Homo-oligomer: A and B are copies of this chain.
């Protein structure tokens, strides 16, 4: 199984926001994360990196530069 733990980077620190994520979708206003249990979370963030071996994804907060 490939569920992934998603973190957001704030002030140089990683904060966990959702685990067991199985699906991520780019939306107009952010990234929509879905976990194994149906929970959804929309975060205003961009993907910094994904490590599929560590099952880890790190996001950065999106700036209002769009």
A residues at B contact (CB < 8 Å): 2-4, 21-26, 46-53, 55
Contact = CB atoms under 8 A, between A and B. Distances in A.
A45 B12 CA distance: 26
Given A2-B52, A25-B49, A26-B49, 17 more contacts: A2-B2, A2-B53, A2-B55, A3-B52, A21-B52, A22-B51, A22-B52, A22-B53, A23-B49, A23-B50, A23-B51, A23-B53, A24-B50, A25-B50, A26-B46, A26-B47, A50-B50
9 contacts: A2-B52, A2-B53, A4-B52, A22-B51, A24-B52, A25-B49, A25-B50, A26-B48, A50-B50
Contacts of A51: 22-23
